[in-house]
Structure 1
């Protein structure tokens, strides 16, 4: 699980062997190094840790990472439980549309608006300083109330770009609460990726 207070990703695997329930906080820099190294390896990884360091053993090497002190944020309380509004859409189509429309957003905020109605999604953005605007309409499957919700385009694109799914489901409760981005359709039963993105206030 990782968060920067604007977005959160919760990753679960059910095929991991552990001796007991435990946790530790890994800082961003060693996590990035670990991601780069593991991307080149197909070896099993053995993870151990003590009060100060975590040890990752793979490919005959040991990566030692200094742990971050303190208590991790109480993230479970911010994950919305009841989300009656559900959008299902092709991940790549949504990602590309977000990138295209975001070109006309205010470059200091990168805000875009998602307008949802029955089986239709309209993505729009504008920059009044340069008299620019753009909108794009996408086919989708949407069930729920008509809704307008704002997101920071760079955050939404980052989440979509790192998901391995063909289709994604975006579950919403209302425009002021976080959206959940999940896999749509059949996925690996051993792996669950849940992303949460906080909305931004958009002009009415």
Structure 2
């Protein structure tokens, strides 16, 4: 009303154009919930590794009857698989930043969305938004090779009780390693942590359902809490082979689901 403002502008010519997908692009329609769940379940496990950029995104693998999302940083791995009806076989690596943007925008969507992609870019068409992003180029590691198939020792445990126990015991763990030791035998998990430098230690016993061989295994407590916090079921099953092989964490559902999720964590050496 009583003043004026003058600000410089920039030529619109130099503004980046929306990349066009090549003629070999692939297109499919995806359910919003499937995409949101896939991103939410796996994004926390992606890496921040400049040397291996392929691990900095979510690997999305399309098969005729299933859709798989994978995130890994070489210590932990999450695989979320959903039953879907699509007729193409393809895969791409969605970077972390657009994945975060996408999951925020998708919460307001109700209809299925159209996804098209070629070897360099992906385009997500929503009701009133279009998100175009560059994909991470390269070959994703063979994640199925690291998932141990034969795990004779299965532990059924209350997830919340285990998370809270780990958080309490981890206070006394070594701040550099965050090592927490799990001794599993006779329907009990004994959690132990110690920091020799400050002469502090803690242990806590949690009841579980287990009838296999007694097993001792060490994990990084921060990763354990992350994995267990990203599951929503009250009970989880931990599948173990021995103290040197990865532990597999799976949610336990009361009824059959159209999706499955699996989380894997590499163990740490327990110093004698």
Query: Shorter-chain TM-score category?
Result: over 0.9
**3-state SS of paired residue (2:80):** strand
- Report Cα offsets for 1:165-185 as digits up to 9, x if no partner: 111000000100001000224
| 2:81 alignment counterpart | 12
C-alpha deviation, 1:75, in angstroms: 1.0
1:98-177 residue pairs with structure 2 within 5 A? Answer: 98-177=166-245
1:55-134 residue pairs with structure 2 within 5 A? Answer: 55-134=123-202
Identify unmatched segments of 5+ residues in structure 2.
1-69
Which protein has the larger Cα radius of gyration, Structure 1 or Structure 2?
A: 2
| 1:195 alignment counterpart | 263
Q: Which structure is higher in RCO with an 8 Å CA cutoff and minimum separation 6?
A: 1
Distance in 1 (alpha carbons) for counterparts of 2:179 and 2:106: 34
Aligned length: 203
Distance in 1 (alpha carbons) for counterparts of 2:162 and 2:120: 42
Stretch of structure 1 that moved more, 188-197 or 150-159: 188-197
Q: 1:96–1:38: structure 2 CA closer, same or farther, 3 Å change rule?
A: farther
C-alpha deviation, 1:27, in angstroms: 1.8
More helix by share: 2
Distance in 2 (alpha carbons) for counterparts of 1:152 and 1:90: 19
| 2:254 alignment counterpart | 186
TM-score, structure 1 length as denominator?
0.94
C-alpha deviation, 1:118, in angstroms: 1.7
Distance in 2 (alpha carbons) for counterparts of 1:164 and 1:84: 24
Distance in 1 (alpha carbons) for counterparts of 2:108 and 2:197: 45
C-alpha deviation, 1:30, in angstroms: 2.0
**3-state SS of paired residue (1:196):** strand
Distance in 2 (alpha carbons) for counterparts of 1:46 and 1:115: 48
C-alpha deviation, 1:42, in angstroms: 4.2
Distance in 1 (alpha carbons) for counterparts of 2:169 and 2:110: 38
**3-state SS of paired residue (1:104):** coil
